[in-house]
Structure 1
Amino acid sequence: MDEALLKKAWARADAAVAKGPHAIPADGRHRTRRVVMGDPQADFERVMSILSLHGLLGGDGGLRPDVCLVSVGDHFDWGPASERERVARSGLALVAWLASHPADQAVLLLGNHDLGRVGELADFTDATFHAAQVEADGLYRGDDTDPAAERAFLARWPGLPSVELAARDFSAWTEEQRAWVEHLLRARRFRVAHAAAESLLVLHAGVTHEDLDVVGLAHGRRADAHAVADALNGVMDRAVAAWTGGPLVLPGLHHPGNATSGEGTGIFYQRPSLQAEDAERVRGTPRRRFDPRRLPLGLTQVVGHTRDKRVRELVSPGPVRDGVLRHLVTDGTRVDYAHGPPPTTGAGEAVMVFTDGAMREGKAEDFQLFDLEARRAVP
């Protein structure tokens, strides 16, 4: 990426951060290029490089005027513990950079890491989280973490569901990030879902009939992306309006984790699974797994959250590739999963397009974005 352009992008991000939490309203301009970006859990420079390689940045370090960029969520938390301070700054810079564009030019969708700022970590300060994280770093050993030591840790920090969350999952959290997420929620810039066309929906991890039962959407309207997005965003808007403190809960759709209930559950965490051991886990909601055969027929959902490796483990064994778009097609009985953009389908099939290609891995030029107009990778 051109160094001068990167400096302009950083300058725009730094100016937005310095201004403090704010949101730019829609300007109503027609955008001829509409693109989805998979989970941007990567350095600000890497994100800008990918956007620049696809011709989406203008000369001022922002998006080109003809571009609408939809970010599918998870803007925070990656990398080793030694880089937390840099990662925290980078994630905040990206959110501020996106928010510095009009609402109809940069669409911010919520991921579980974004909601963690106002969920599991809602009652922490920088000081208290640092104290909890120091403890967690000393205890966390992956699957070998001592259970008794973890129980003692959770007794001291009941807002957390595990040692792992403090040490790894939400490792680069700050109060400043929480302030931005809260503001963008209240300003309705952070959304649950975005209807890109009549039957084309973009959101973080996808929804099934069980999730749409929760919001009371009639079966006959479940292939209508606008109806689905309105129903999901309505639940969030009502929850945010009633929220006066503590973890933000979207009833039936998103329940943050804690020491009592365990890991968070809901539509921002769930992944498709056909594994026999998940048969009971996929029946109800909120949950962390769903049966892909329960996707609404006639609807294409563009999601992030789940990398190829995980889908291969849970749904369809095969060779793993990072960076590429992938798709799942089901008629309610069969489930087909493959690399590449989705094929042409009909009203009797449901489609899921996966855009989380592990952005910080591999070469920037190998990371594919999804073109909402052509329904294929951005050339």
Structure 2
Amino acid sequence: MNDDARIQAALARASEAVAKGPHSTPADGRPRKRRLVMGDPQADVGRVLAILAHHDALGDDGWLRPDVRLVSVGDHFDWGKPHERESGALSALSLVAWLAAHPADQVVMILGNHDLGRVGELEGFTDATFAQAQAEADRAYQGGHTDEAVEREFLARWPRVPTAELVARDFGNFREVQRTWVEHLLRTRRFRTAYAAGPGLLVLHAGVTNEDLDVAGLERARRADAGAVADALNATVDAAVDAWTRGPLVVPGLHRPGDAASGEGVGIFYHRPSLKPEDAGRVRETPRRRFDPRRLPAGLTQVVGHTRDKRNRELLGFSTAEARDGVVRHLVTDGARVHYAHGAPPPPRPEEAVLVFTDGGMRECPVEQYELFDLDTRAAAR
């Protein structure tokens, strides 16, 4: 069977998974020989599947090959232009349903800020009220620019969101059924905050610093232990989910959704490394939207998504002329120096902290150029 046939089979399985309604397949305990990380899948489900097929990860039956474990680093929703909103909403749900229909130990679903937006900033919306709010947001946010006067009127009517741009663009493909799926996957522990992939190797959406791990209550001596870090973060978020009964989901100290009164959402699912002087005051406390990469825990390699190459370079002070989509990148710091480059990182020293970036702009990058990250070779998958 060729790749096109495999993709069509997978699309059929995805449609079946959506029709079945919110569900999650339990672990089956089978060994997996290949462990791959997929950067933010904010693209049509067919393109996502084509990338997996290109990496020989799809089987003839429309599921992942039995020997493949896939870690999706979050942000499964929201992409495209306004005219693609309806198709994008269905596509994203199809992808989430297809991923969740795999055994829990074959597909690890990591939470991103766009996933949490369904139970955060958008928690109180119905399809009807969101459509009304989005029509108003479209009048305030056009062509990448916000009319501040129109936005003030918008926020007076919709105080649960921080900006018109969020409704018009950032979380623009929302549908109520997505929230139902996200809540189910949170409560059944299928959506994870972090995944320990090996000694000193952690996968999560946007990375954590020592300040974030202070909030999670993890002692300093254990912060190079990926298992301990994952357990601490997952336990903190799981406790917040268990305590959550109504309103936006908040994780004290680690995640606060945005609203008109407090501004944009903050915390470990939103933040990006920054060395810009104007961010110096914004990186010292948590939750936040920027962090100082020199505060990453030494001895730990974190594999993340969330930030593309050009944005990394802007925030870290590197030339944007060399920015590329599709490629794995890395940041290495010893607590003083910060090095950023394309490719997989060199073997880390005990005093160094490492970030591996996997968000390659899936929607804009040619399928054959989009790299997955191999957790066993610690390099781009071949």
Q: Give the TM interval when normalised to the shorter protein.
A: over 0.9
Aligned partner of residue 238 in structure 1, secondary structure:
helix
Residues 90-123 of structure 1: CA deviation (Å, up to 9, x unaligned): 0000000000000000000000000000000001
1:146 to partner: Cα distance: 2.1
Equivalent in the alignment of 2:114: 113
CA distance in 2, matches of 1:142, 1:286: 30
Which of 339, 342, 361 aligns to 2:364? It is 361
Specify the alignment match of 2:9 in structure 1. Answer: 8
AA in 1 matched with 2:159: P
The CA deviation string for residues 115-168 of structure 1, in whole angstroms up to 9 with x for no partner, is 000000001000000000001111113664222221111110011100000000
Q: Which runs of 5+ in 2 are unaligned?
A: none
The alpha-carbon distance between structure 1 residues 367 and 143, as it changes in their structure 2 partners (threshold 3 A), is closer
SS of the residue 1:77 aligns to = coil
- Alignment match, 2:66: 65
Secondary structure of the residue aligned to 2:184 is: helix
Q: Which amino acid aligns with 1:273?
A: S
Partner deviation per Cα, 1:15-34 (whole Å, 9 max, x = no partner): 11000000111111111100
- List aligned pairs for 1:130-169, cutoff 5 A: 130-141=131-142, 144-169=145-170
**Alignment of structure 1 residues 202-213 onto 2, 5 Å:** 202-213=203-214
Match of 2:377 in 1: 374
Matches within 5 A, 1:14-53: 14-53=15-54
Q: Distance in 2 between matches of 1:136 and 1:255?
A: 22
Matched-pair identity in %: 69
- Contact residue 200 and residue 225 of structure 1 kept, 8 A: yes
Q: TM-score, normalised by structure 1?
A: 0.99
In the other structure, the counterpart of 1:340 is 343
CA contact (8 A) 2:271 2:290 kept: yes
Decide whether the 8 Å contact of 1:223 with 1:297 is kept in 2.
yes
Aligned residues: 379
SS in structure 1 of the partner of residue 146 of structure 2: coil
Q: Whole-Å Cα distance in 2 between the matches of residues 7 and 36 of structure 1?
A: 22
Alignment of 1:1-379 (within 5 A): 2-141=3-142, 144-318=145-319, 319-379=322-382
Residues of 2 paired with 1:311 and 1:201: CA distance?
20
Stretch of structure 1 that moved more, 315-324 or 353-362: 315-324
Contact 2:139/2:150 (<8 A) preserved: no
Q: How big is the alpha-carbon RMSD for the aligned residues of Structure 1 and Structure 2?
A: 0.9
Contact 1:316 1:337 (8 Å CA) reproduced: no
Partner Cα separation in structure 2 for residue 328 and residue 281 of structure 1: 20
In 2: Cα distance, 1:2 partner to 1:296 partner: 41
CA distance in 2, matches of 1:72, 1:144: 29
Q: 1:153 to 1:97 in 2, by over 3 A?
A: same
Structure 1 position 7, deviation (Å): 1.6
Q: Is the 8 A contact 2:140 2:148 kept in 1?
A: no
Aligned residue type for 2:342: H
**SS state at 2:203 partner:** strand
**TM-score, scaled relative to structure 2:** 0.98
8 Å CA contact 2:3–2:54 kept in 1: the answer is no
Cα 1:142–1:221 change in 2 (3 A) is farther
Report the alpha carbon displacement of residue 198 of structure 1 after superposing the two structures with TM.
1.5
Q: Counterparts of 1:2 and 1:339 in 2: how far apart (Å)?
A: 29
Measure how far apart 1:268 and its partner are.
0.4
Aligned mates of 1:248, 1:147 — CA distance in 2: 28
Q: Quick check: 2:225–2:300 contact (8 Å CA) kept in 1? A: yes
Structure-1 separation of matches of 2:145 and 2:323:
27
* Aligned equivalents of 1:228, 1:155: Cα separation in 2: 41
Which digits, 9 at most, give the CA deviation of each residue in 1:169-195, with x for residues without a partner? 000000000000000000000010000
Distance 1:142 1:221 in 2: 47
Counterpart of 1:176, as a letter, is V
Secondary structure of the residue aligned to 2:137 is helix
Q: Show CA shifts across 1:307-327 (max 9, x none).
A: 000111011412101100000
Contact kept in structure 2, 1:41 and 1:360, CA below 8 Å: yes
Which residue type is aligned with residue 338 of structure 2? V
Structure 2 CA distance, aligned partners of 1:278 and 1:142? 27
- TM-fit CA distance, 1:2: 3.0
Which digits, 9 at most, give the CA deviation of each residue in 1:260-293, with x for residues without a partner? 0010000000000000000000000000000000
Could you list the runs of 5+ residues in structure 1 that have no partner in the other structure?
A: none
SS at match of 1:217: coil
Counterpart CA distance in 1 for 2:89 and 2:149 is: 31
